[in-house]
Amino acid sequence: MEYLVVFLILVVFLQTRIMELHRATYLLAVQSAIIAGSCVIVGVSSGGGGFHAFLPGLLTLGVKVIFIPWAILRLIGEIKDESEINSNINVNYSSLAAAFFLVMGYILADRLLPGTIGRDIFAATFLTIMTGLTLIVMRRRAIMQIVGLITLENGIYFFGLLMTEGLPLIVELGVFLDVLIAVVVLVILTGRMRLSFMTTDTGVMRKLKG
Amino acid sequence: MDLIFLSPLLFLLGTATILWPKSLEMAAHYVGMMFAAVGSAVLLYKSGLYLISAGVLESADGWLVTGRWGSYSLNADLWSAPFLVITGLAGFIISLYGMDYAKGYRGNGLRALTGQWNLFLLSMVMVLLAGDAFTFILAWEVMALVSFLLVNHESSKKETVSAAYQYMIMTHLGTAAILVAFYILGSGVGSFSFTAFCNNKLPADVKHIVFCFAFAGFALKSGLMPLHVWLPNAHPAAPSHVSALMSGVMLKVAVYGFGRFVFQFIGIDTLWQGGLVMTVGLISAFLGVLYANMEKDMKRILAYSSVENMGIIFTGFGCGMILKHLGLEALSLVAFTAVLVHAFTHSLMKCLLFMSAGCVMHATGSKNIEIMGGLAKKMPWTAFFTLIGSMSLASLPFTGGLVGEWLTLQSLYTLAVNGGDEIRLLVVFGLILMGLTGALALGCFVRLFGVVFLGRCRSKTIDKAHEQPFFMVLALGIEAALIIAVGIFPSPLVAAMEGIFTGGNAVVPMATDFALLWSGTGNFYNQLSAYCPIIFAVIGLALFGLCYLSIMGNTLVRSEVTWNCGTYPTARQQYSATGFSKPLRRAFDFILKPRREKVYLEKEHDYFGRIMRFNLFVPDRFTDRLYHPIEHFMVRISSTLLMIQQGSVRLYIAYTMIAMVAVLLWGVM
């Protein structure tokens, strides 16, 4: 579990540095895979095995590691313009923010939940959540924002898993369905946006303001 | 059910005429106005009886109306009665007038006008009958909204719409202040009924805050300076009968509310409250009439004159509050009587003059008095009744206008004598300002009447002028007759109004030495009037006889054209309205700051061949100095706030994120 958390922190840090869309998507898949692994570990260690212990992990694997990256990659495949895929903006602020959030996560863990066993896990989930938000706020590309959203979602899911040690099945199914639909809608919208505006830069959306 | 409940019911039925089909527009109008008139008459009859029988108190528990339905309750006591009488009387007469006047709006929202007219009357009656804060505010708000709709009736005109919206914003500010006052009271008492408010045990400083809010709210509705800015704009914009009702009744409803707060909820326990009310009243009275002198629009003149008269009413009110605080109970009752008497007479005369302005507009199609003149020949009855109204507003003897003002002046005088040193300076200024106000009011109405009805025609607009339909003239006539009646026999009115405070008993000091001040004889109640018109009549007759005798000898009469340095006099050589008030503009230049604008369209030489355009504009100083800065400040703040509203989703998410981080950090601290 500790190794997974270290990997997760590393991957999230990397996410803040990467601007190329393919690699960002791969990273997202890796991150989701780590979450899936953690799910299985938590499931096995808390409940006495069985189908239910593996279900969240399998669902994460299916939805977040395979389906969503696949859909995003398909979308990227349709983009021909090189400047759309690579964009040069200063990513240092996002990394700095991630570092800040990691520190803040540890402080929060110590102050709000003293004596929790999963201190590192808490800090990592907080980092994931806040980095997801940072990606949404600081990136202009629609696809990067989708990646940010999934990261955020991963963080929240992992946090919930840690706190409750396994949610009821129906809740888990609902959460995954939500994410799935949100991503499908976002992918479709991004595709439409590319057709209408010839770009996936969300800055152009400001033109729609009345 | 009591007969008085018939009146709101009739108003409701009248409101329902708004739903009649378009083809029955005229019928709807007549029926609606009939409902309004009959409803007002019922109201007048019942509340008038109650008012007159104040000493006997016929109804078992002393209420005029009392009832409770869930959280709504109605209570009307002696303090409501005079205002109900004012509403009933004005509503009856103006509805008669409106029957003919509003015909001009045929095909132009006439049904809406008539329906809203009934609703307006209903809302005012409900304000006066309300027995708890909730009912009061509800009726008050309906009153504000309906009057907004009525002001906005001619919404095709741009200035009407802007006046109406200005009115709506201002009146809502007032409502907000009153709401705050009620809220503080209600949270202190734990109930919203007026009876509970009366027995409140709030600490004194809380009561002072309540007083400030209530005064601000009601002063705004009464059009006291500096909260009057909506009034000179809203009144000209509204149809004339609506302006008459707004000025004649709605402004008085604010006096009612203020009185209820002061007498029952707050009590009079400090000097500064009365001083504040009196100062604001004096300033409004003086500046109101000064601005009235500067205006050229007939209805704006009347609107500013309303500011003046509300100022006089509040001066009397403040005077009474000070007297009461000083422990001079009996003398304070005279001041409060003055408030009611002047409210009543002002309602009479302002309704009359607004209706007359409506007649003039009807006949000439204009409100600008500079292009009128000589209307008395075309509209003799209107002119005659307007003359009576103008005399009354100038507080001349034998008219109702004098009674209230006389009582107010007398109260000021008793305050000067008995008030002690602290407030003597204020009272001296008060007397000076009241004197100036009276003089300026005289000038204002001489100017109004002279320019509009006397002299020669100034333009072609007068040519097609004609006397007005029967009901319009009849309404003017009733008002004029009432004004004269009150002027000559004020005693019943004064006694009835005084009975409100004393329960029908005579106030003691008036029958003793003070009566010398009031009537010139030792006994007040044996006289016909408070100021003894007999003395005036004798003096007048003596003066008239003197003049007559001195002229008697010279019977030589020659008819000649006025000598005019060899030219024939034309209409352009008479006093114009602007010219008439020129001396005042010079004397009060430092207050009015008129803006003059001279443009030479053509100038061949310094002394001849010049064509010049001259613009004179007297700005409202409060608008310039108070409201415009506030407005600019608000706009600046709003545009600064707009900076955080960039319309970018990412920015909004960032706000959420910052808020989240801040909350978490705060939780950690």
What's the pLDDT score for residue A109?
A: 84
* Cβ contact, residue pair B647, A206, below 8 Å: yes
Average pLDDT, integer, range B151-180:
89
pLDDT tens-digit readout, B214-266: 999 999 999 888 888 888 888 888 888 899 999 989 999 999 999 888 888 88
- Domain segments of chain A as ranges: 2-81+90-204
Q: Is residue B603 part of a domain?
A: yes
Q: Please tell me the predicted confidence (pLDDT) of residue B509.
A: 37
Res A137 pLDDT > 70: yes
Classified as helix, coil or strand, B599 is: strand
Nearest Cα of chain A lies from the Cα of B653 at a distance, in angstroms, of 6
Q: Taking each helix axis from N to C terminus, what angle separates B204-222 and B158-189, rounded to the nearest 10 degrees?
A: 160
| Nearest beta carbon to residue B650 from set A104, A130, A136 | A136
B82: nearest Cα among B505, B497, B494: B497
Query: Max alpha carbon distance in chain B (Å)?
Result: 107
- Nearest C-alpha in A relative to B668: A111
CA distance A121 to chain B (A): 18
> Does pLDDT of B527 surpass 50?
no
Residue B61: band (very low, low, confident or very high) from pLDDT cuts 50, 70, 90: low
B630 inside domain = yes
- In angstroms, the Cα distances linking B369 to B295, B447, B617 are 9, 10, 15
Residue B16 CA to its chain's centroid (Å): 29
Q: Which of B647, B657, B668 sits opposite A137 (nearest CB)?
A: B657
CA separation for the pair B303, B363 (Å, rounded)? 21
Q: State which residues form the domain around B595.
A: 572-617
A133 touches chain B (CB under 8 A): yes
CB of B151 within 8 A of CB of B160? yes
Distance from CA of B452 to the nearest CA of A (A): 52
* Region for residue B204 given its phi and psi (left: phi exceeds 0; alpha: psi -120 to 50; beta: otherwise): alpha
Question: Which of A122, A133, A139 to mutate to test binding with chain B, by most B CBs within 10 Å of its CB?
Answer: A133
B642 shares contact with chain A (CB less than 8 Å): no
Cis bond upstream, residue B203 (ω within 30): no
Answer yes or no: do B661 and A104 touch at CB < 8 A. Answer: yes
Q: Which residues of chain A make contact with B648, given a CB cutoff of 8 A? A: 206
At residue B140 the predicted structure's pLDDT band, cuts being 50, 70 and 90, is very high
A104·B650 Cβ contact <8 A: no
Spatial neighbors of B402 by CB under 8 A, at least 6 apart, are B392, B395, B396, B487, B531
The verdict on a CB contact (< 8 Å) between B665 and A104 is yes
DSSP-derived letter for residue B100 is H
Nearest beta carbon to residue B664 from set A108, A137, A138: A108
CA B177-B178-B180 angle, 5° bins: 65
- Cβ contact B213:B178 at 8 Å: yes
Q: In terms of DSSP H, where are the helices of B239-328?
A: 240-245, 251-260, 271-294, 298-325
For residues B540-554, one letter each, b for 16 or more C-beta atoms within 10 angstroms of the residue's C-beta and e for the rest, the string is eeeeeeeeeeeeeee
Asked if A107 and B649 come within 8 Å (Cβ–Cβ), the reply is no
Task: Give the integer Cα–Cα distance in Å for B292 and B440.
Answer: 9
pLDDT classification of B498: cutoffs 50, 70, 90: confident
Question: For the segment B262-305, what is each residue's pLDDT rounded down to a tens digit?
Answer: 888 887 878 888 889 999 999 999 999 999 988 888 899 999 99
Is the per-residue pLDDT at B489 higher than 90? no
Cα distance between residue B442 and residue B424, in whole Å: 27
Q: Which residues of B touch A137 (CB under 8 A)?
A: 650-651, 653-654, 657
Residue B534's pLDDT is what?
66
Of A108, A136, A209, the CB nearest to B653: A136
Subunit contact B668:A206, Cβ cutoff 8 A: no
Residue A28 near residue A69, CB atoms below 8 Å: yes
Give the A:B interface size as CB pairs under 8 Å.
33
Q: What is the ipTM of this complex?
A: 0.83
Q: How confident is the model at residue B156 (pLDDT cuts 50, 70, 90)?
A: confident
pLDDT bin (cut points 50, 70, 90) of residue A116 is low
Contact B320, B408 (CB under 8 A): no
Say yes or no for a CB contact (<8 Å) between B649 and A112: no
Is a pLDDT exceeding 80 seen at residue A33?
yes
Element (H or E) spanning B72, and its range? strand B72-76
Q: Is residue B586 part of a domain?
A: yes
The vertex-B468 CA angle with B373 and B86, nearest 5°, equals 100
Q: Note whether B611 and B578 are same-domain residues.
A: yes
Spatial CB neighbours of B16, under 8 Å, sequence gap ≥ 6: B115
Q: How far is CA B202 from the centre of its chain?
A: 33
Could you give the percent of chain A with pLDDT greater than 70? 92
Collect all residues with Cβ–Cβ distance below 8 Å to B351 and sequence separation of at least 6: B90, B93, B94, B244, B245, B247, B248, B479
Report CB contact under 8 Å: B650, A202: yes
Which chain A residues touch B647 with a CB distance below 8 Å?
206, 209
Sign, CA torsion A57/A60/A63/A68 = negative
CB A56 within 8 A of CB A41: no
DSSP state of B563: P
- Measured in whole angstroms, the distance separating CA B550 from the mean position of its chain's CA atoms is 43
Contact residues on chain B for A133, CB-CB shorter than 8 A: 653, 656-657, 660
pLDDT at res. B172: 92
**CB-CB neighbours of B364 under 10 Å:** 23
Q: Above pLDDT 90, what percent of chain A?
A: 8
Q: Is A112 on the interface with B (CB under 8 A)?
A: yes
- Note the pLDDT of residue B553: 67
Selected residues 599-638 of chain B with any CB under 8 Å from a CB in chain A: none
Minimum-distance CB partner of B667 among A112, A145, A202: A112
- What CA–CA distance (Å, rounded) separates B358 from B367? 9
d(CA A13, CA A22): 17
pLDDT value for A48: 60
Q: Which amino acid is at B312?
A: I
> Sorting pLDDT into bands at 50, 70 and 90, what band is B554?
low
Which residues in chain A have their CB less than 8 angstroms from residue B646's CB? 206
**What average pLDDT does the segment B491-500 reach?**
77
Q: Let me know whether B634 and B652 are in one domain.
A: yes
Predicted local distance difference test score (pLDDT) of residue B59: 52
Predicted confidence at residue A172, as pLDDT, reads 80
State whether B657 and A130 contact (CB < 8 Å).
yes
> For residue B441, what pLDDT is reported?
92
pLDDT at residue B633 greater than cutoff 90 = yes
Record: contact B649-A104, CB cut-off 8 A: no
Region B470-491 average pLDDT: 86
Mean pLDDT, rounded, for B618-633: 85
Phi, psi of B395 (to 5 degrees): 55, 45
| Distance (Å) from the alpha carbon of B639 to chain A's nearest alpha carbon | 17
What's residue A45's pLDDT?
A: 76
Q: Is any Cβ of chain B less than 8 angstroms from the Cβ of A193?
A: no
User: How much of chain B, in percent, has pLDDT values that exceed 90?
Assistant: 23
Q: What is chain B's mean pLDDT, rounded?
A: 83
Tell me which residue of A109, A98, A198 sits closest to A148, measured CA to CA: A98
pLDDT grade for B512, boundaries at 50, 70 and 90: very low
User: Tens digits of per-residue pLDDT, B70-129?
Assistant: 778 888 888 888 898 999 999 999 998 988 888 888 877 888 888 889 999 999 999 998
pLDDT reported for residue B619: 82
Alpha-carbon distance of B207 to A81, in angstroms, equals: 73
> pLDDT band at residue B530, thresholds of 50, 70 and 90?
very low
- For the stretch B538-547, pLDDT in tens is 888 899 888 8
Largest Cα separation within chain A, whole Å, is 57
Residue showing tokens 């395979």: A66
**B411-464 pLDDT tens trace:** 888 888 877 777 888 888 889 999 999 999 999 999 999 888 888 888 877 777
Query: Ranked by mean pLDDT, which of B378-382, B442-446, B597-601, B653-657 comes out on top?
Result: B442-446
**Three-state secondary structure call for residue B613:** strand
Q: How far apart are CA B654 and CA B509, in angstroms?
A: 75
Cα dihedral B495, B499, B502, B508 in deg (nearest 10): 10
| B650·A137 Cβ contact <8 A | yes
In terms of DSSP bridges, do strands B72-76 and B610-617 run parallel, antiparallel, or are they unpaired?
unpaired
The pair of three-digit structure tokens given for residue B146, joined into one six-digit string: 């309906």
